[in-house]
Amino acid sequence: MARPPLALTAGQQLGSRAIGPITQTDIVRFAGAGGDFNPLHHDTGYARRAGLPDVIAMGQLQAGLLAAWLTDLVHVEHLLGYTVRFASPLALGETLELSGQVEAVHGDIAETALTARVGERVVITATARVRVAAAR
């Protein structure tokens, strides 16, 4: 049985979650699950030759963490759409701060804006449409 949708209002903050620090094990586990074996994500020498200080996490890791945080809040069965924009790489040892807010509510659909940051630096932004309890 599906869980009922939440009541959300425009301007509502969705809270936040910290994840990290990101480890090499986190990256390797995600690579194994998703099949992304680009050496930028596991080979320090390769990453440095490419101009990076060390390996970086794959963007889909951050996108997945942000989506998981949102669906923990609104329940996965109410996620209707999700788009992301990658802004900067996530390095080993960094901690992601996930946050979001409801931008608008139209009937039983809420438009949300989500962000993953490391300090003040934006790593990824996303928008999501979620089903909400209709206003009475």
pLDDT (tens digit, 9 = 90+) per residue, 26-71?
A: 999 998 888 888 999 989 999 999 999 999 999 999 999 999 999 9
Q: According to the model, what pLDDT value does residue 32 have?
A: 86
The band of 4, judged by pLDDT with boundaries at 50, 70 and 90, is very high
Give the residue from 111, 126, 112, 109 showing the smallest Cα distance to 5: 109
Q: Which of 21, 88, 90, 91 is nearest to 54 (CA)?
A: 91
Full-model pTM: 0.91
Under 8 Å between Cβ of 20 and 94: yes
121-131 vs 96-106, strand pairing mode:
unpaired
Structural domains in the chain, sorted by start: 13-22+58-131 (3.10.129.10)
Positive/negative CA dihedral, 108, 82, 62, 1: positive
Q: What pLDDT shows up at residue 34?
A: 84
The span from the CA of 14 to the CA of 11, in Å, is: 9
Alpha-helical (H) ranges within 1-108 are 24-34, 44-49, 59-74
